[in-house]
């Protein structure tokens, strides 16, 4: 860890504790006593109000009601933050005003030379959804669904929710425990456990009309919910995907299908799903989609109906 990074980390460590000792700093950051003392002195010189206590159990503590000094960023940390802000444009994310104010504060903290680097990055880097002829214009609206922030506020208080959803012009309500709120293929999705029917459900946030806390007296734990789901869910299609198939998957995939990556670089993955072979339209759709994935797949398990459909389609070519 570089010195600037270490000192910033030590400052956060100190700020989260009522009291600390040099020995604790040495153990936590794996540094020598002389280095720990030198870092503490630099932090004091930067303006952090530390008070030393002498004696056998002595140490340091931060004076109450004091303002912490400005956090210092390395050049790479500034670039990482700025690129992260750029990459989130046109993603329909919540708290857009806060994101804008954060970007402005970041620019105000850094030198003119560092600002010039960020201006250059802004001119060069283009992300999905950006108009290449005019990078200041976005191809889509950057505004999130109006229910998204309300949903997030509810989740932060309690993940047991009563949600109201518009489905095919019909309004339905469900008591759910929310597993995940995720962004996929340009849409925000709720994945949760239906507390009445005891099954997994997925809802697009744009169909949400209301959300409120669901006060249940006897709450099923998340562990028990997952155990129930594991007994319910069966898979008859299991594939191993290589990098080319994963790239195709990212371009398009049915909503109910998901990947489990098998390495940190996300170049191999396992796909598991259940195909209703008695439903002709679903069978045809899945056959076409498997052809779309291409040849960079290995079959672990596949219904014979799907295999026969693939063989028939391939024989035509």
Instruction: Check which CATH number belongs to the domain holding 208 and give it.
Output: 2.30.30
Query: Would you state the pLDDT for residue 242?
Result: 95
DSSP 8-state symbol, 54: -
Separation between Cα atoms, residue 306 and residue 284, nearest integer Å: 8
Report helix, strand or coil for 23.
Answer: helix
- Pick from 182, 210, 232: which residue ends a domain? 232
pTM of the model: 0.57
Query: Would you state the pLDDT for residue 241?
Result: 95
Strands 297-301 and 269-273: unpaired
Low-confidence ranges of the chain (pLDDT < 50): none
Element at 37 (helix H, strand E): helix 33-45
DSSP 8-state symbol, 205: G
- CATH code, domain carrying 25: 1.10.10.10
Separation between Cα atoms, residue 234 and residue 199, nearest integer Å: 13
> In this structure, are 182 and 207 located in the same domain?
yes
Number of domains forming the structure of the chain = 4
Query: Would you state the pLDDT for residue 165?
Result: 94
Query: Would you state the pLDDT for residue 107?
Result: 76
Residue 68 forms part of a structural domain: no
- Pick from 111, 144, 177: which residue ends a domain? 144
Query: Would you state the pLDDT for residue 296?
Result: 94
> In this structure, are 260 and 182 located in the same domain?
no
Structure tokens at 179: 């597993």
Q: Give the full edge-to-edge strand order of the sheet including 187-194.
A: 199-204, 187-194, 170-184, 160-167, 208-213
Residue 111 forms part of a structural domain: yes
> 90 lies in which domain range?
73-144
| C-alpha of 3 from chain center | 29
């Amino acid at each position: 860890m570089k010195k600037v990074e270490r000192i910033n980390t030590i400052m956060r460590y100190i700020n989260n504790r009522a009291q600390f000792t040099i020995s604790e700093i040495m153990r936590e950051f794996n540094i020598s006593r002389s280095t720990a003392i030198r870092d503490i002195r630099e932090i004091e010189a930067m303006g952090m109000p530390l008070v030393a206590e002498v004696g056998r159990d002595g140490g340091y503590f931060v004076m109450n009601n004091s303002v912490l000094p400005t956090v210092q960023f390395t050049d790479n940390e500034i670039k990482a933050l700025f690129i992260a802000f750029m990459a989130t444009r046109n993603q329909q994310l919540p708290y857009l005003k806060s994101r804008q104010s954060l970007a402005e504060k970041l620019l105000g903290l850094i030198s003119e030379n560092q600002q010039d680097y960020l201006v250059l990055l802004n001119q060069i880097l283009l992300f999905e959804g950006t108009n290449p002829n005019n990078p200041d214009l976005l191809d889509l609206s950057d505004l999130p669904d109006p229910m998204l922030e309300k949903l997030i506020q509810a989740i932060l208080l309690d993940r047991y929710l009563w949600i109201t959803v518009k489905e095919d012009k019909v309004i339905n309500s469900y008591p759910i425990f929310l597993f995940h709120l995720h962004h996929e293929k340009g849409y925000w999705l709720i994945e949760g456990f239906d507390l009445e029917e005891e099954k997994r459900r997925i809802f697009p946030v744009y169909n949400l009309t209301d959300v409120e806390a669901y006060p249940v007296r006897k709450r099923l734990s998340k562990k028990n919910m997952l155990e129930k789901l594991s007994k319910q869910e069966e898979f008859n299609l299991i594939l191993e995907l290589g990098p080319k198939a994963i790239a195709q998957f990212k371009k398009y995939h049915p909503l109910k299908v998901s990947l489990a990556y098998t390495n940190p670089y996300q170049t191999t993955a396992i796909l598991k799903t259940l195909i209703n072979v008695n439903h002709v339209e679903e069978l045809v759709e899945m056959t076409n989609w498997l052809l779309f994935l291409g040849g960079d797949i290995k079959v672990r398990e596949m219904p014979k109906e799907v295999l026969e459909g693939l063989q028939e389609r391939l024989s035509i070519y």
